[in-house]
Structure 1
Amino acid sequence: MTKHKADKTPQMGFWERNRKSGGYLLQKKTKEIAVRIIRAILLFGMCFLILQPILTKISVSFMEEQDLYNAMVINIPEHFTTANYKLCAKFMDYAKSLLNTSIVSLSIAVLQITVCTLVGYGFARFEFPLKKFWFACVIMVIIIPPQTISTSLHLHFRYFDIFGLSKLIRGETINLRGSILPYYLMSAGCMGLKNGLYIFMIRQFFRNIPKELEEAAYVDGCGTLRTFVSIMLPDAKPILTSCFLFSFVWQWTDGFYSKMFLGNIKLLSTQLAVIADRMDAWMVNTMKVPGGASVGYSNCIVSTGTLMVIIPLLILYLFAQKGFVESLSSSGIKM
């Protein structure tokens, strides 16, 4: 009977509850709505800043030259064309450059993450002489831009020698310039692109894994290597996934190390850097335009080439989106 009466008790409306709370409920609701609106505006602004340049490049890439100088054409091309993509594919030797970039980026990323994982685990779990000094060197690798040591790298690999043995035996040093070997040597020595950052991230991750897991493995008879491979690496999958994707993407778009060490290999980043010059040469030699390509059309070709460089990365992200987001969230919690 009591339950039946309680069910028939009329529910107070919002304004009635607000009146009894002395206006507190209205203030709370107003603050919640204001926070939601501000958050939506900020998110929209951030998304617009990221997407607007890409959308503009997509629109421009389908325009003919006359549309670029037509004040009535803003975002939608009046003369739709795919000729810009064909020209970019020709100037960049796209198929070969794409294959080379995929092979180099994948191999470099695997090599860098392998050695950085070993170094990061060593910093997190082992004690050795001058540990703090060597970790300070890792931080310096993160802070100091690679351009500051470009001259030293050039001279070192131009006159490469190991303990003077080459000059002693052959009478001259080895010129490794123009070869891919120097970059692989640097990556194997944790001096590649962003390697200091990967070491730091992996070290922080391993430091937050309880040592009891390793101690239990040691009690069960596992050695250091087996414990690392069987126990630690499976737990480190999130951070390794994040670092691998970062390494792959940064190597894909890198221009500094690619120009310095991989100049003889056709890569998308290096081909994109000279696409405007090739466009001018094509206009002069093939189309017989004395002044070369106009500024607007050159920018159009560069925008189209940029899209062709990042499209494979966007496709990769679409397939790896779930694992990438999960790895970032997991590594962020543990770091």
Structure 2
Amino acid sequence: MKASLKTNGRISASAALQAVTRWYESYNPVDKVKHWLWIIIRAILLIGICFIILYPIITKVSLAFRDKQDMFDSTVVWLPRNFTLDNIKLIFGYLNYTEAVTNTFFLSLTTSVLQLISCALAGYGFARLKFRGSGILFGVVIFTIVVPPQTIMVPTYLHYRFFDVFGLYGLFTGEPGVNLLESFWPFFISSALAMGLKNGLYIFIFRQFFRSLPKDLEEAAYVDGAGILKTFWRVMLPNAVPAIATVMLFSFIWQWNDSYFVNIFAPNTTLLSRMLDLLPGAIRPEYVGGISHTSLYLNTGTLMGILPIFILYLFAQRYFVESVERTGLVG
């Protein structure tokens, strides 16, 4: 092309004219306008959607660091005029924050690990082990997703209030059962037996993921002499990292935010969700000019409740997005 444009080191006038003509013919101002218009509209939509999603968080952050005087200042919208940490210090004591976060983290992490193990085994069994009635049992698993937990509240409460295994405890001791309430044992037992919070969904995720893996992996393991459990542990589970990440994050976050089962099994335990439920009654309202400062404290408490989850998401969001895409939960 350079040879065609140059003649003895100079650009040929005809070649330059042809190049300009081709550029002019390919240039379509209408297409350019459409292209940039679509970019502007898309940017406005994304910014608007992000603002709608982040608006509650932004509001809570603004109120958490706002002094009481700013409640009467109409010029204060987002940025506090009088920055203060008094709201956080006050709510820190109301929530018994250190103990509540420690207990909630321990409970959420332990139940997540137990649910991960039990649901992975159940999902692998439904995906790879064919037996009579497996379809009916899997239908029951799906049914547990749509059944509200309130419908089985009474038998669940009585089960752990008088906990017994096949009546053996009552047979040997004469007592009606062991009281497991006001402890974490109801959460641990339910999670270990794949009957905890949202376990039906976790089993479904593992089943769908294990079904997508090629059977050649299992057949090769069987040829090498591995059994079902060894194949699951050494071959299938290492390839299920996306499903593991999804279940682990879902399980941890849902248990962290759960207040229903916490109020049933451990109504007097210091857990963050329970302390947040008690926060409105614990706050002593202060009225100045007919306006209460309670909203400052409630928004601060909510912000402190979601702060650990927000920090966790900052470090795990890449793995979470990848795991959700690979497990087929989108689309």
With normalisation by structure 1, the TM-score equals 0.86
Specify which of 191, 196, 203 is matched with residue 192 of structure 1: 196
User: Which amino acid is the alignment partner of residue 68 of structure 2?
Assistant: E
What secondary structure is seen at the aligned counterpart in 2 of 1:274?
helix
Contact 2:324–2:330, Cα closer than 8 Å, also in 1: no
Q: Secondary structure at the match of 1:178?
A: coil
For 1:312, the aligned partner's letter is P
Q: What does residue 238 of structure 1 align with?
A: 242
1:308 maps to: 304
Question: How many residues matched?
Answer: 319
Structure 2 counterpart SS, 1:212: helix
Counterpart residue number, 2:43: 40
Matched, 1:4 2:3: yes
Structure 1 unmatched ranges of 5 or more: 19-24, 284-288
Does the C-alpha gap of structure 1 residues 26 and 231 become closer, same or farther in structure 2, counting only changes over 3 Å?
farther
Aligned: 1:269 with 2:273: yes
The answer to whether 1:177 aligns with 2:181 is: yes
Stretch of structure 1 that moved more, 102-111 or 40-49 = 40-49
AA partner of residue 73 (structure 2): N
Deviates more, 1:8-17 or 1:54-63: 8-17
RMSD across aligned positions (CA): 2.5
In structure 2, relative to structure 1, the CA distance for the partners of 1:300 and 1:13 (3 Å cut) is: farther
Give secondary structure in 2 for the equivalent of 1:10: helix
In structure 1, how many angstroms separate the alpha carbons of the residues matched to 2:86 and 2:159?
44
Q: What secondary structure, in the 3-state scheme, does the structure 2 residue paired with 1:332 have? A: coil
> For residues 60 and 275 of structure 1, what CA distance do their matches in structure 2 show?
16
Partners of 2:107 and 2:184 within 8 A in 1: no
Moved more, 310-319 or 62-71: 62-71
* Residue of structure 1 in register with 2:320 after alignment: 324
Moved more, 296-305 or 38-47: 38-47
Deviates more, 1:181-190 or 1:314-323: 314-323
1:60 aligns with 2:63: yes
Map Cα deviations across residues 230-261 of structure 1 (whole Å, 9 max, x no partner). 11111101110111011111111111112112
Output the CA distance in 2 between the equivalents of 1:116 and 1:42.
39
Structure 2 partner of 1:221: 225
- Residues of 1 paired with 2:260 and 2:190: CA distance? 14
Mapped partners of 1:59, 1:14: distance in 2: 53
Q: Aligned AA for 1:55? A: I
Q: Which moved more, 1:109-118 or 1:127-136?
A: 127-136
Segment of structure 1 superposing worse, 247-256 or 260-269: 260-269
Query: Displacement, 1:279?
Result: 1.1
Partner residue, 1:299: 295
Change (3 A) 1:223 1:30: farther
CA shift in 2, pair 1:173/1:83, >3 Å = same
Change (3 A) 1:13 1:96: farther
The verdict on how the C-alpha distance between 1:202 and 1:39 changes in structure 2, with shifts beyond 3 A counting, is farther
| Pair 6,327 (structure 1): closer, same or farther in 2 beyond 3 Å | farther
Number of the residue aligned with 2:162: 159
SS for the counterpart of 1:246 is helix
- Secondary structure of the corresponding residue to residue 326 of structure 2: helix
Q: TM-score, normalised by structure 2?
A: 0.87
